[in-house]
């Protein structure tokens, strides 16, 4: 259930409600609005009598039942859009979900220091505000490039220091969460790990913002319930990411579910990004899918960029070069402006 406090309710009232929530066996999750505080009480289904008792407490405005299986991710828990801050305040931090369209860009994998620095310069020059790059790479084949691991994290840290761009990189296993979180500004959960619940719980405990990609065969309801694993650990800073689903169609790597953007925005308060690179599988299709995603209402994109895509050790066919990324960003500004957002 959701307990909505009265406008500018005193701290003493909030503390009493939280104490009652815990005493009755619920776990409280507090969401601060502009003028009201919401308390999500997660636990056994509350009876009408229990809801009435909470409604009678000083400082409580209303008590509502959450009908969705994903409690903290739902619009029933929080009506207003959530915002997520990526990076440390005062160090080029970026906010998403607040009307600013965010583009995260960079190579699929961190291969060398020179390669990442070149890509980071391209990303910065064309106006993207977050640097992406995989230090750990989960690959279908055990013989494919798996990333540089901790060396890749150090290279990403140095690129952040040089450009001022916060970094997002993937974490692939529970035992790596602490290591990756010590370097990254945002932790990425890849499509293969959408329902790796042990990993999701560890990422939730880490407290860092999370870019959470939809699994290739995951329904929207399953996707939101998986996101709940992160949220339930007390980490509200989750960005949902549509990256294409597996269908019968073979002309693209995956089928980009553009309709997922407005559906997710309707069902959840969390920011929604799109990954057009993995959906397309071919660089020539990436700009069109990126523009369509922005027009559908996405809050941001994550795009693969490489100074020399033909030399990339992973996903060479879908990475944009300097000129292609520059053209995309120029076209994207027009679409974003038409929607009343800023880039």
Q: Does residue 187 belong to any structural domain of this protein?
A: yes
Domain boundary among 32, 64, 96: 64
User: CATH number for the domain including 8?
Assistant: 3.30.70.1140
- Pair (205, 272) in one structural domain: yes
Which of 15, 31, 64 lies at the terminal end of a domain, its last residue? 64
Whether 241 and 305 map to the same domain: the answer is: yes
Q: Is residue 251 part of a domain?
A: yes
Residues 24 and 103 in one domain: no
My answer on whether 29 and 124 are in the same domain is no
Give domain status of residue 73, yes or no. Answer: no
The closest of 327, 270, 333, 319 to 299, measured between CA atoms, is: 270
Structure tokens at 106: 């960079």
The rounded mean pLDDT for the chain is: 93
For residue 53, give both structure tokens: 């008792």
In a domain, 214, yes or no: yes
Query: Residues near 261 by Cβ (< 8 Å), separated by ≥ 6?
Result: 242, 272, 274, 293, 296, 297, 298
| pLDDT tens for each residue of 108-130 | 999 999 999 999 999 999 999 99
Number of domains in the chain: 2
CATH of the domain at 176: 3.20.20.70
* Residues 47 and 152 grouped into a single domain: no
Look at residue 90 and tell me whether its pLDDT is greater than 90: no
56 and 88 fall within a common domain: no
Do the Cβ atoms of 81 and 31 come closer than 8 Å?
A: no
Q: Do 180 and 249 fall into the same domain?
A: yes
pLDDT of residue 307: 96
pLDDT over 80 (residue 141):
no
d(CA 238, CA 322): 30
Q: What is the pLDDT of residues 315-343, one digit of tens each?
A: 899 999 999 999 999 999 999 999 999 99
Q: What is the pTM of this model?
A: 0.90
242 lies in the same domain as 109: yes
Of the ranges 21-30, 100-109, 135-144, the best mean pLDDT one:
100-109
One domain for residues 22 and 135: no
Residue 257 confidence class, pLDDT cut points 50, 70, 90: very high
For residues 37 and 96, state if they share a domain: no
Q: Between 123 and 144, name the one with better pLDDT.
A: 123
Is there a single domain that holds both residue 189 and residue 108?
A: yes
Q: What range defines the domain where residue 262 resides? A: 84-338
- How many residues are listed for the chain in this entry? 343
Count CB-CB contacts under 10 A for residue 200. Answer: 26
**Does the pLDDT at position 143 exceed 70?**
no
Is 71 within a domain? no
- pLDDT of 168: 98
Is 70 part of a structural domain of the chain? no
Q: Per the domain annotation, does 117 fall within a domain?
A: yes
Q: Which residue has the higher pLDDT, 217 or 41?
A: 217
Say if residue 164 is in the same domain as residue 29.
no
Q: Is residue 69 part of a domain?
A: no
What pLDDT was estimated at residue 181?
A: 97
The pLDDT assigned to 9 comes to 86
**Structure token pair of residue 50:** 């229990």
- Percentage of residues in the chain with pLDDT exceeding 70? 99
């Amino acid at each position: 259930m959701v307990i909505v406090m009265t406008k500018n309710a005193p701290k003493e009232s909030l503390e009493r409600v939280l104490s009652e929530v815990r005493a009755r066996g619920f776990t409280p999750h507090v969401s601060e609005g502009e003028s009201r505080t919401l308390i999500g009480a997660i636990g056994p289904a509350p009876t009408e009598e229990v809801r009435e008792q909470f409604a009678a407490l000083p400082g409580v405005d209303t008590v509502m039942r959450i009908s969705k299986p994903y409690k903290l991710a739902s619009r029933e828990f929080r009506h207003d859009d959530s915002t997520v801050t990526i990076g440390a305040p005062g160090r080029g931090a970026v906010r998403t979900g607040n009307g600013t369209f965010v583009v995260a860009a960079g190579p699929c994998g961190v291969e060398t220091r020179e390669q990442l620095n070149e890509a980071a310069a391209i990303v910065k020059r064309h106006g993207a505000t977050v640097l992406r790059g995989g230090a750990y790479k989960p690959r279908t084949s055990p013989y494919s490039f798996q990333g540089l691991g901790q060396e890749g994290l150090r290279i990403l840290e140095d690129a952040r220091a040089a450009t001022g761009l916060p970094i997002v990189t993937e974490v692939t296993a529970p035992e790596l969460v602490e290591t990756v979180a010590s370097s990254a500004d945002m932790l990425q959960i890849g499509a293969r790990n959408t329902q790796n619940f042990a990993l999701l719980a560890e990422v939730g405990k880490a407290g860092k913002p999370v870019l959470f990609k939809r699994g290739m065969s995951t329904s929207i309801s399953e996707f939101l319930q998986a996101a709940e694993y992160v949220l339930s650990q007390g980490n509200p800073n989750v960005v949902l990411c549509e990256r294409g689903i597996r269908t019968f169609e073979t002309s693209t790597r995956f089928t980009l579910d553009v309709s997922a953007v407005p559906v997710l925005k309707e069902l959840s308060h969390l920011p929604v990004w799109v990954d057009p690179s993995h959906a397309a599988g071919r660089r020539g299709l990436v700009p069109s899918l990126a523009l369509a995603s922005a027009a559908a209402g996405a809050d941001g994109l994550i795009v693969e960029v490489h100074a020399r895509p033909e030399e990339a050790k992973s996903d060479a066919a879908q990475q944009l070069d300097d000129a292609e990324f520059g053209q995309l960003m120029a076209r994207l500004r027009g679409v974003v402006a038409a929607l009343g957002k800023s880039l």
